[in-house]
Chains A and B, each alone.
Chain A
Amino acid sequence: MNAAVGKFRPGDRVRVRMEDRPGHIRTPFYIRGKTDGVKKMHGQFLNPESLAYGRDGLPKRPLYLIGFYQVEVWENYKVSKSDKLYVDIYEHWLELA
């Protein structure tokens, strides 16, 4: 994989876009607007938002694994402050925090 692909690098702090628009969206509602660190990039994949309507899914989009602290995601999370939740998010749903 080309190391130069993708806007973000492991350790970058990113915010998930707080968007709510019609269409097929793979970014779960509960994680929108949340901020945390990039763990790694999985690679580039056909865009499901385009595939969902019978289109070709191009251009491919970088997909990242992002680790969020559970206490930042859930208001009443009381198990352990170090617990993390990992979510796969496409690049066009992220911005540098």
Chain B
Amino acid sequence: MPRGHHDLGGTPGGGPIERAEHQLEDWEILADAVNQALGAKGIRRTDELRRIREEMDADVYRSMSYYERWIASAENILIEKKILTREEIDRKVAEYEKRWGNP
């Protein structure tokens, strides 16, 4: 099994670390809030979400930003635990896009 796509320590070509502070977007704060709520309800543990992000397709994982990965892993844990289905999530997303427009 090759090294996981999340386990980057020491790999060359990563470039300098971005040290500047930046303002979080509203959706990123919401992603954090939903994540905290799922934890408080006992639905997920941090280690489960990490495992799910590690199981993602490597190219998809790399193409996502930090909080996009959080959202994707929260969706996947809800589906894995049979709390929501992919269809229910997709339907709701389509509803919001209709109401608010595609971001």
CB distance from B61 to the nearest CB of A (A): 15
Chain B residue numbers with a CB within 8 Å of A28 are 7, 9
Q: Is B47 a contact partner of A51 (Cβ separation < 8 A)? A: yes
**B1–A22 CB distance below 8 A:** yes
Is the interface on chain B under 10, 10 to 19, 20 to 34, or 35 or more residues? 10 to 19
Which secondary structure characterizes the binding site on chain A? loop
* B48 lies within 8 A of A53 (CB): yes
Q: Decide: B51 and A52 in contact? CB cutoff 8 A.
A: yes
**Across the two chains, which residue of chain A brings its CB closest to B80?**
A54
Q: Which of A44-58 contact B (CB under 8 A)?
A: 48, 51-54
Contact between chains at A51 and B45 (CB < 8 Å):
yes
B51 touches A29 (CB 8 A): no
Contact at B10–A24, with CB atoms within 8 Å?
no
- Is there an interface contact between B1 and A24, defined as CB atoms closer than 8 Å? no
Residue count of chain A within 8 Å CB distance of chain B: 17
Contact A51 B1 (CB under 8 A): no
A78 → chain B, closest Cβ, in Å?
Answer: 15
Among residues 4 to 32 in chain A, which have CB atoms less than 8 Å away from a CB atom of chain B?
20-25, 28-31
User: Closest residue to B77 on the A side, CB-wise?
Assistant: A54
Are the CB atoms of A24 and B47 closer together than 8 Å? yes
A21 touches B1 (CB 8 A): yes
Cβ of B54 < 8 Å from any Cβ of A? yes
- Asked, given contacts A24-B47, A52-B51, whether A29 binds B1 with beta carbons under 8 Å apart, the answer is no
Chain B interface residues toward A at CB < 8 A: 1, 3-4, 7, 9-10, 45, 47-48, 50-51, 54, 81
A-B contact pairs, 22 of them (CB 8 A): A20-B1, A20-B3, A23-B51, A24-B51, A28-B9, A29-B3, A29-B7, A29-B9, A30-B9, A31-B9, A48-B50, A51-B45, A51-B48, A52-B45, A52-B47, A52-B48, A52-B50, A52-B51, A53-B48, A54-B81, A73-B10, A74-B10
